[in-house]
A and B are shown apart, each in its own frame.
Chain A
Amino acid sequence: MKRRTVAAIGAAGLLAVFFAAALLYERREAAQVEAARARHHGPPFVRAGAPALGPEDARVVLVEFFDPGCETCRVFAGPVKEIVESSQGRVRLVLRYAPFHRGADEIARALEASRRQGKFWETLELVYALQEEWADHHHPNPAALWPHFPSVGLDVEKLREDMRTPAVDAALRQDMADALALGVQRTPTFLVNGRPLERFGLRELQALVRDAVGETYGD
């Protein structure tokens, strides 16, 4: 009987070590995955102070490099907002400027400046709505937008002033530098927790977000 006791203790000990080690290993792995994800919530993907929608502690960050003059960005604006709003606080949208179109740089400045008046999203909506008027590929005419700005409650004089501040300069320069660093060449470019779309499309974007939510929230 003594032998059996010794053997049982030995067997139990080995199994306990195995399962404890497995548990510890899995936990450490999970922590590393979490840390890697956290990196995607910082530079160069996300810069503090960039326009964003959704709670700051959301585990999924959807970064969009956008161009106010880009048609596809306009088409995606609604559905992307919808993704954030229907996520129950699990997805945060961070917008980064990538004004590749001619004349769009001016409007990106105006958008950044509109934040000083708390009118960013209204201004963005207006910019997209009137895109055909100001962002014609052959004759871009950003000046055509200006008469419309007061309609969303913008103080145009202040807007003009703010557009020329070093802070707005810095924000745009930073976004362009990050776009370059991340290899962003088209707009819109979406990055979901650092991961790009394999194939472009709204459905693909929704799936990528859904996967990221599943991974980070475990359902």
Chain B
Amino acid sequence: MIADWHPPRRVAKLPDMADDRGWALLFGCWLVVTAATLGSLFFSEVMELPPCSLCWWQRLFMFPLPIIVGAGLFPFDRNVVRYALPLAALGGAVAVYHTLLQLGIVPESAAPCQQGVPCSEVQLTLLGFLSIPMLATLAFATAVVLLWRVSRSVPA
């Protein structure tokens, strides 16, 4: 009797479940980058805080993400990671640099932006310590992790 037992045939089901998991991760990523984009627009358009040049570099990497990641959701396309991950990683690098600059860890003289709004100036802090570049770092890092997990969600 026992020799007759076969494991349930779930092989056909597996890709679907992995798909669901991957889609959920990608959707989470879309929520994060869209929230970050809207937040950035809130700072510049509603609060009318002028973005400094490093802010612009981060925006340049962040703003395409809701569109690219969103396009990867319908129909679900894991390849979107190939297009989105480089943007998120580069944006994250700029955000980390900007954060270090504001914290005074990178000297201001090394800043590539001397004109207009100084990048080292902290225009806004949330909860007493979170600055805008820190929020950006958080958003880019979350996006990178989620995208990476989307690519790993496919069964080997």
Contacts and interface: CB of A to CB of B under 8 A. Distances in A.
A4 B73 CA distance: 9
Contacts, number: 32
Contact of B74 (A3, A17, A25): A3
B31 interface: yes
Contact of A11 (B23, B34, B41, B47): B34
Contacts of A14: 31, 34-35, 38
Given A25-B47, A26-B46, A18 B38 contact: yes
A6 interface: yes
Interface residues of A, number: 14
A130 to B, nearest CB: 54
Contact of B42 (A3, A4, A7, A18): A18
A185 to B, nearest CB: 35
B140 interface: no
Chain A interface main SS type: helix
A14 B23 CA distance: 19
Which of A15, A18, A26 has the most C-beta atoms of chain B within 10 angstroms of its own C-beta? Answer: A18
Interface of A: 3-4, 6-7, 10-11, 14-15, 17-18, 21-22, 25-26
Given A10-B27, A14-B35, A15-B38, 13 more contacts: A3-B73, A3-B76, A6-B27, A7-B27, A7-B30, A7-B74, A10-B30, A10-B31, A14-B31, A14-B38, A17-B38, A18-B41, A22-B46
